[in-house]
Structure 1
Amino acid sequence: MAVRASLACFPSDPALHAACGMPWGVAITPFSATDERGFPPATGTEGHLLPRCQSCFAYFNLLCPLDRWSWNCAICGAENDLSADAAARYARDGGHDPPEMRSAFVDLLLPVEEGEAAAAAAPTPVYVAAIDLSSSEEFLELVKSALQAALEALLPGSLFGLLTFSSKIGLYDVQGPIPIVKNVFIPPDSDGALQVDLEDIMPLCSFLASIDSCKDRITEALETIKPMSSWEVAANAHDGQDHVLHHIRGFGVALDVLINYLSSEYGNAFELARIFAFLSGPPNYGAGQLDINEDQNSGKARGADHILLQEQTSFYRNLVYAWTFLQLQMNTLILLL
């Protein structure tokens, strides 16, 4: 780093600076190859031994007043103790001084373990499959086949999560002896929130399973997924709800809470997760629902099963804008059958 002052002499205090009436400033070039005198930096490989201020976390440097067992920070003035090893390191003995005692311009390397370097270079891949249960058996069979093929193609060390949605959201834990699912209902008037956070239902570390050790149980969990029309409608047929429940598709709420769920561990690379959403029709329940009445259709393509809808809500657009800073890559596969 090169530091060049606008004047050859520094004012000793703010009052003198104000009294002199002359402009004073400093030009700093952080990544300069040489300092202001044209000298290269003093180098070393023991950057991890450099003391840091306990008050402002600045590094020890040549400008810091040094005593036998303590030093004062040149930035904030705080006094810091020296360990026995650091005191021995900074015992002045001429040519054997460490780099930070020979120059104010130093370039020290921090040793990094091989595993840590690999982890820093390649964040853990995270994949989440969000599956629509308000669909047909044929749709789910296609989804299962696609996901089983995807599992074989994922890189070793990847994390995988399985979520289902309809009038409720299901989270699968595949890290135990047998796969289990925990459900939370979506309130009809939900604006994108649930009564219970997903993190309280299942910790994210239980939801995201390693492909290396849990691939078989993920496959078992996929085989247990059935459409609502095959198991829940029959139980509610006496209430006259058989034509209602299996068409409920709370996709907007599921997507919103899933993004919040993944961001609950911000800093652990979960912000790089990829979400694969398998949607069998337009969302029609809770936040982000669409009106699919005939007068809302902008046109039809290739028959009545392929209805093109105009944009009716800014919910999904706002969702993308709100979470852009997470750099969450949302790869959505929509199958309309």
Structure 2
Amino acid sequence: MAGSSETNETTQVLSQYKNADITKRDIMNALSQYKDLRPELEKYYFEDGTTKNLLNLNGTIPVKYEGDEYNIPIIVWLLDTHPYNSPMVYVKPTRNMYIKANRNVHSDGNVDIPYLRVWRYPHSDLLGLIKVLVKVFGEEPPLYSSSSASQQTHQVQSEHLSSASEERSNIVSPPVTASGTTTTPGLEDNEKRLMRFLKLVRLSRHALQIFFDDVFPGHELQNMLADKKYLIAHGEKRVEKDQIPVLYPEGGKPANSCEFGISTMYNLLRNYAENINPPSNGWGNKPNNGHKQNGDDVERIRIHRNYLSQIIEFEHEMDDFNLKWEDLKQAIIRLSKGTLRGEVAALSA
């Protein structure tokens, strides 16, 4: 199933499974057709706080969408009662990828499809599950990428969302001709709007940091990072691997929120802050216009950052732009307790 040491470890864990032979056959059957998945052994954190070493299938599955093929990263966790209880499936966005929540995928990446809800062995198995995932994801892709733009576009290099490395995604501007002029009348105005909005999103990272530092003052941040280190690095709601050195610098140096990007602060606030009001519609969901709790504004910053990363051509009508601008502007002012009002006004001029 893997390398010799991994095989021994996997075999040892399988011995703890109530139906080891059936589980092994089920895994091998799935891997025979989906060779970019690999069995791994990891600690799974349940909602009640308990943990258990479980097998999972980790990797990518090929999904066809509108004539093109995409490799969708997933992880399939197997309970020790497999195959008599359904697996737990998550999509795992990599760097520059974002979850596109829909009827089949929750905002945290958890996959909820009928095949899992009515799972019943022997009519249900891993190979059948993966085939259904390929079909479902081909109808409604669960991820989108900030770097999926056409090669005709160029990268905005003079501005970026944040000084933190995670925020240096490929934010692209409208197509240009070889001479550097815009390709359609009026596109220059759209590009100017894009650049203005990019600066506002960049300022929103500053506002989020101000709020983050209030929630996690220096010493409390260090204590929380130390107490939750395993969860943050390896748990179900772990951060991306490239953010681990930012949260846990070499030489035992304390982490500095100035180095955190929006995604990192959002993850820590959502999963480890105990003294903030959660969003009115719940984490991962768009707040209503009248919702103005701190959690709502944290969500607004995440949503507008993700929205910006998708933009290739800024084709929204001016009213739409103004609504988004006002929504993010007010969130910045509220989260910064008015300290960034002047900077917002300068961008609005």
Taking structure 1 as the reference length, what is the TM-score of the superposition? 0.20
Taking structure 2 as the reference length, what is the TM-score of the superposition? 0.20
Bigger proportion of residues as strand:
1
Bigger proportion of residues as helix:
2
